[in-house]
Amino acid sequence: MFANGINFIVWHGMPYNPPGGKNRFYATIHTGPDCNFAQELPEFNQYFERVSGLMRLGKPYGAVAVYLPLEDVWIQNELPEELQRPSARYHWELQYVKFSESVFGFRPFWISSQFLDTAVFEDEKIRIGAMKFDFLYVDVDWLDINALENFIRLAKQGCGICINKKPSQPGFNKDKKYDDLVRELFSQKSVSGVLQKIAKRPPLIEGHLIPEFWCRKIDDDIIIFFSHPMTKSITYPMRYGQSFCETDMDIKIGINYAGHKNEVNLQFKPYQSIILKIDKQGNFKFEDINFVPPKPVIPEIGEQRRSYGIGGYKGTGNTEKA
């Protein structure tokens, strides 16, 4: 969550019980005094406080605004049966929409057509609300005409737009001028299907394996949170004990900031994430956010299925144990 912009944590897991009450239902996580991790909870909360405090400093930082492919997922409608799960039956629930690897290092942000309505190109930046971006990235098969017209408006002002294929108009009521608008967009000098022609500077993070990360800008400095690489494997439903890890992981990345490039070795200890601060001179330092949880006890598969609803088995309702 920290690597996707969340910076405030609220525990919700102990129901209210009046004197003599017997309410034993928990909608989320049991955090009562008899929960399985009660003893580690104070240190865990200190970790949350430290990281969320650091990630509220300054303002969010990102270089590219990526158009959310809403029209594509609306047209795709229902997910294939093998991809359906309790949290999603349709493509438009956005469970499988991800940023392209080509823009991941730029610290991308999703935008929709409503954001484009208020977008302004000034001082060589696209300003959307409080955020400023270097360029726009579009990778869709279908594009609403309102968004298309906004892209043309911004491109005429000099805004860089990377769009690698010509979109089609969704819906049954087609506008006759749509194809002409597409040709007009691709005729603009600031529009290209080649990312290197549009990006005015290298991505913030370069590397073959970039962990999930979030960045904040504090005056002339930046602070970056890198989540442990294993967080990329998080899906729903989660497996009990899937975070189990006993070995270090080293990832070499390049960080481009303020005209400087740093080659950095991110050494992830088991269960640990990393926060890195970089100033405008290119100097960097690691923040201490160490938190080592107790070694988990992994139950036998049969026990997992009985207690945690794994593998299609229904849980026993023993939420305290789960």
3-state secondary structure the chain: CHHHCCCCCCCCCCCCCCCCCCCCCCCCCCCCCCCCCCCCHHHHHHHHHHHHHHCCCCEECCCEEEECCHHHHHHHCECCHHHCECCECEHHHCCCCCCCHHHHCCCCEEECHHHHHHCEEECCEEEECCEEECEEEECCCECCHHHHHHHHHHHHCCCEEEECCCCECCCCCCCCCHHHHHHHHHCCCCEECCHHHHCCCCCCEECCCCCCEEEEEECCEEEEEECCHHHHHCCCCCCCCCCCCCCCEEEEEEEEECCEEEEEEEEECCCCCEEEEECCCCCEEEECCCCCCCCCCCCCHHHHHHHHCHHHCCCCCCCCCC
Domain count, the chain: 3
Last residue of a domain, one of 150, 165, 198: 198
- Rounded average pLDDT over 196-200: 93
Amino acid at 302: G
**Domain end call among 23, 38, 58:** 58
Q: Is 322 domain-assigned?
A: no
Query: What pLDDT score does 308 carry?
Result: 35
Same domain assignment for residues 110 and 85: yes
Q: Which pLDDT tens digit goes with each residue over 37-56? A: 888 888 999 999 999 999 99
- Residue 247 within any structural domain of the chain: yes
Report if residue 301 sits inside a domain: no
Do 88 and 216 lie in a common domain? no
Please tell me the least confidently modeled range out of 3-12, 69-78, 126-135: 3-12
Q: Which domain holds residue 20?
A: 2-58
Q: Are residues 145 and 167 in the same domain?
A: yes
How far is CA 2 from its chain centroid?
9
Tens-place pLDDT, residues 58-102: 999 999 999 999 999 999 989 999 999 888 899 999 989 999 999
Based on the fold, state whether residues 219 and 91 are members of the same structural domain: no
Residue 318 lies in a domain: no
Higher-confidence residue: 13 or 111? 111
The 10s digit of each residue's pLDDT in 200-234 is: 899 999 999 999 999 999 999 999 999 999 998 88
pTM for the model: 0.84
Q: Is residue 299 part of a domain?
A: no
Lowest mean pLDDT among 25-34, 183-192, 216-225: 25-34
Interval 89-117 mean pLDDT = 94
Looking at the structure, tell me whether residues 264 and 164 fall in a common domain: no
Same-domain check for residues 231 and 177: no
Amino acid residing at 238: M
> Per the domain annotation, does 193 fall within a domain?
yes
What pLDDT is recorded for position 23?
67
Instruction: Write down the mean pLDDT value for the chain.
Output: 87
Are 134 and 68 part of one and the same domain?
A: yes
